[in-house]
Amino acid sequence: MLDSQGYSTVYDAINKAVDDSLRSLLWFQLLLLVISAILTSLFAFLTFYMKKKAENFATKEDFREILRQLKETTRATEEIKAEISTGTWVNEQRWKLRKSIYLTLLEKLSESKQALGDVIEAEEGSFDGSETKRKSHIAERLQRISSASVDIRNAIDRSGGILFLSGSALDSLREYEAAEEKRLIELTAKDDPYGNVSADATSWSSYLNHQWDAADRAFKELVEAAKKDLQLRS
């Protein structure tokens, strides 16, 4: 049977054991609290980190998309500029071609009109000089008319005038060419191609006047056509 000292010893041992257990439990709980706080902080950090990563990824993707769209817009803009430049160049070349053909036709019609006028005057007795000079004068003017007529035909057929000249302009030029053909036929039929016809009007002089009128009408028609086609101010 235990005495009072024995009880005291057992009590102290039990009390010490309980205190040690309580202290161990307290440290364990404190450790759990620390671990919990650490895990909570770590989870919060990881959540924030992943959110920022997602935002950064989305920002990078948005930037890539913007960059792609910018490149496409730039490429489209350059293509449009190239098309406009090409179209402008083509239109400029077309304008230059038309201008060149109009100027050629007007120049040659003017030459033909002047030469025809000279021949008519010489044929009707308005030439001041010898007969030999008069005939030479007529021959040289007739050659100018023929050369001008050939150049007019080339401007229409070979240089492309037929592709854009208006119907009325082409009709007036055909009328001129028909008059030139009739004049040549009549010239061939004359006994003296350069003879004076002032004393008696003949079909030869009529053909000369007819061709002059045709050249004059064609010239005026082309002037109006050129103003409209080349958008020139009156």
Strand, coil or helix: what is 153? Answer: helix
State how far the Cα of 120 lies from the Cα of 123, in Å rounded to an integer. 5
What type of residue is 185? I
> Higher confidence at residue 2 or residue 57?
57
Q: pLDDT per residue over 87-122, tens digit each?
A: 677 778 888 888 899 999 999 999 999 999 988 888
What type of residue is 147? S
Structure tokens at 211: 């061709």
State how far the Cα of 139 lies from the Cα of 145, in Å rounded to an integer. 10
Q: pLDDT per residue over 116-126, tens digit each?
A: 998 888 877 77
What type of residue is 140? E
> Higher confidence at residue 55 or residue 145?
145
Topology of the domain covering 92-229: Four Helix Bundle (Hemerythrin (Met), subunit A) (1.20.120)
Q: What percent of the chain has pLDDT over 70?
A: 62
**104 with 155: CB under 8 angstroms?**
yes
Structure tokens at 41: 């902080």
**DSSP-assigned letter for residue 193:** T
CA max distance for the chain: 186
Q: What is the mean pLDDT of residues 154-161?
A: 88
Q: What percent of the chain has pLDDT over 90?
A: 19
State how far the Cα of 147 lies from the Cα of 159, in Å rounded to an integer. 16
Domain layout of the chain by residue ranges: 92-229
Query: Residue 10: its pLDDT value, please?
Result: 47
